[in-house]
Amino acid sequence: MSDYSQPSQPEDSLAAIAAEVRHCQRCPLAQGRRNAVPGVGPAQSAIMFIGEGPGGMEDQSGLPFVGPAGQYLDELLASIGLIREDVFITNVVKCRPPNNRDPEPDEIDSCKPYLVRQLRLVDPEIIVTLGRFAMERWLPDQRITKVHGQAFRFGRRLIVPMLHPAAALRRAEWRPWMIEDFQKLPHYIDEARRLRAGDDPNAPISAITPPPDAPQQSRLL
Ligand code: URA
């Protein structure tokens, strides 16, 4: 996982990555796309959300999470006092898989260098993985229904796996989990900053303690 935390090359930029993604031909998903969807957000964001891949509306607009799952993501962000402009949002694959099928391992691998570069540049304290495919990068042996909402330390970041908002839209019984998991984020950001301020960046991976139940006002920004 060290390739996610190396410093970026001085000449790299989010704009350069986005330009490359828009012309990318590294995998067959390029054939079927209308627009590639590189990702959006401030160059320095405390939180990066990583979804699975663009759907129909994202393919049409070139922007991530603008369909129903994105509207739900906006609501969840609002529940902790954030708007989407506060966070960086991207996907494991930057082009829409045909008929919204799951991305193939070789498509994910082809797209990985873009995500690695985005992570180095944005350098978020927290990565929230939305759904199984994003989680598998860091926690390949975990089950999302078991570990969602927990925080796992990877070097100088915390990885917080969450269910995919589209899955929670399909399954109403999962929505309370989504809400609870978002309520933990302000606590995790405090933890992540504390770890960064004082700790050994090469310390081993470990799960950190989830916060007590009480909802918290956002102190993220
Ligand atoms: N689902 C995703 O995983 N990503 C998007 O951008 C939209 C829907």
User: For residue range 22-41, what is the model confidence (pLDDT) as tens digits?
Assistant: 999 999 999 999 999 999 99
103 CA from centroid of ligand 1 (Å): 12
- Band (8; pLDDT cuts 50, 70, 90): low
Cβ of residue 89 lying under 6 Å from some atom of ligand 1: no
Q: What's the confidence (pLDDT) of residue 214?
A: 40
CA-closest candidate to residue 88, choices 73, 101, 72: 73
Cβ of residue 108 lying under 6 Å from some atom of ligand 1: no
96 CA from centroid of ligand 1 (Å): 9
DSSP string, 53-109: ---HHHHHHS-SS-SHHHHHHHHHHHTTT--GGGSEEEESSSSPPGGGPPPPHHHHH
Helix (H) or strand (E) holding 168: helix 165-170
pLDDT in tens, 111-170: 999 999 999 999 999 999 999 999 999 999 999 999 999 999 998 899 999 999 999 999
Name 86's Cβ contacts closer than 8 Å, sequence gap at least 6: 42, 45, 47, 77, 220, 221
213 CA from centroid of ligand 1 (Å): 29
Ligand 1 pocket mutation pick from 49, 52, 100, 137 by most atoms within 8 angstroms of CB: 52
Cβ of residue 49 lying under 6 Å from some atom of ligand 1: no
Ligand 1 pocket mutation pick from 21, 49, 50, 65 by most atoms within 8 angstroms of CB: 65
pLDDT of 206 > 90? The answer is no
Cβ of residue 69 lying under 6 Å from some atom of ligand 1: yes
Per 3-state DSSP, what percentage of the chain is helix, strand, and coil (rounded to 5)? Answer: 45, 15, 40
Q: Report residue 32 as tokens.
A: 């079927």
User: What CATH number labels 29-196?
Assistant: 3.40.470.10
Domain ranges of the chain: 29-196
Q: What's the confidence (pLDDT) of residue 13?
A: 97
Cβ of residue 53 lying under 6 Å from some atom of ligand 1: yes
Q: What's the confidence (pLDDT) of residue 155?
A: 87
d(CA 40, CA 94): 12
4 secondary structure, DSSP code: G
**Atom 7 of ligand 1, nearest CA residue:** 65
Cβ of residue 97 lying under 6 Å from some atom of ligand 1: no
d(CA 37, CA 14): 13
Q: What's the confidence (pLDDT) of residue 11?
A: 86
- Band (200; pLDDT cuts 50, 70, 90): low
pLDDT in tens, 71-97: 999 999 999 999 999 999 999 999 999
Q: Structure pTM? A: 0.90
Contact criterion met (CB below 8 Å) for 104 and 38: no
d(CA 34, CA 122): 26
